[in-house]
Structure 1
Amino acid sequence: MNDQVKIKVADLIGSSLCISAEDGQKVFGKVEQLVREGKQVTISFENVTMLISLFLNVAIGQLYGSFGEETIRAQLKVEGLSSDDMELLKRVVDNAKKYYSNKKSYDDAWLEEDNNLEEDNNEE
């Protein structure tokens, strides 16, 4: 049995453009399932021509809500990214770790901000 799986992002989403949350969710769903099964997963960005943080937040950042950092480090590899895209991924991962380590506080802060904006709009 082979416990190593390579996911070619461009093949999975059917595009070289990694720009939508929906496509990021496809990658997340596949990766999450494989990691839960104990597989070693390589996410390949070969043939990807455009990559934005929204996609990475959904595809990879979300994994930090399902797994600990140790699990992700042990079972996940990423290949085929330019140095700029690796920097983007690093920022996404850092933000995801902060968010999921204190999710309730972040969510409460966003909720409070939304309520303040709503009140400001109602006063106009």
Structure 2
Amino acid sequence: MGDQIKIKVADLIGSPLCISAEDGQKVFDKIEQLLRAGKQVSISFENVSMLISLFLNVAIGQLYGSFSEDEIRTQLKVEGLSSDDMELLKHVVDNAKKYYSNKKSYDDAWLEENNNEE
């Protein structure tokens, strides 16, 4: 466990506001690279003053499309979240697991729904 890398989200994105997909993508790219290298990763939300689900969907939810739940569970730790933000993260993770377990059906339903609106 000596190779644990700590990512301070506020430092990585240069802001205490975790609200944009672009910033979420920066976090995702960093985590993905480290997990692929077999590293243990700790994500710290210390000094973050605002966190929304869009950011978490991109930063963490996307990981479920690249890694198994077991890989994520054993290699990734999250710290520094309030209990409300932990609930938000749990919701994002649950949705990501559902989506990536049946991605084609969700994507097809999304396309069908959007095509019907035209």
Normalising by structure 2, report the TM-score: 0.99
* 1:5 and 2:28 matched: no
Aligned partner of 1:69 in structure 2 is: 69
Aligned partner of 2:114 in structure 1 is: 114
| Alignment gaps of 5+ in structure 1 | 119-124
> 1:72-91 alignment to 2 at 5 Å?
72-91=72-91
Could you give the per-residue CA deviations for residues 6-27 of structure 1, whole angstroms, max 9, x where no partner exists? 0000000000000000000000
Identity of aligned residues (%): 86
Aligned partner of 1:121 in structure 2 is: none
SS at match of 1:38: coil
Normalising by structure 1, report the TM-score: 0.94
**1:3: how far off?**
1.2
Amino acid aligned to 1:99: Y
Moved beyond 3 Å, runs of 4+ = none
**2 CA distance for matches of 1:79 and 1:27?**
14
Matched positions, count: 118
Could you give the per-residue CA deviations for residues 74-121 of structure 1, whole angstroms, max 9, x where no partner exists? 000000000000000000000000000000000000000000011xxx
**1:28: how far off?**
0.0
> 1:47-66 alignment to 2 at 5 Å?
47-66=47-66
| Alignment gaps of 5+ in structure 2 | none
Could you give the per-residue CA deviations for residues 26-81 of structure 1, whole angstroms, max 9, x where no partner exists? 00000000000000000000000000000000000000000000000000000000
**1 CA distance for matches of 2:3 and 2:38?**
7
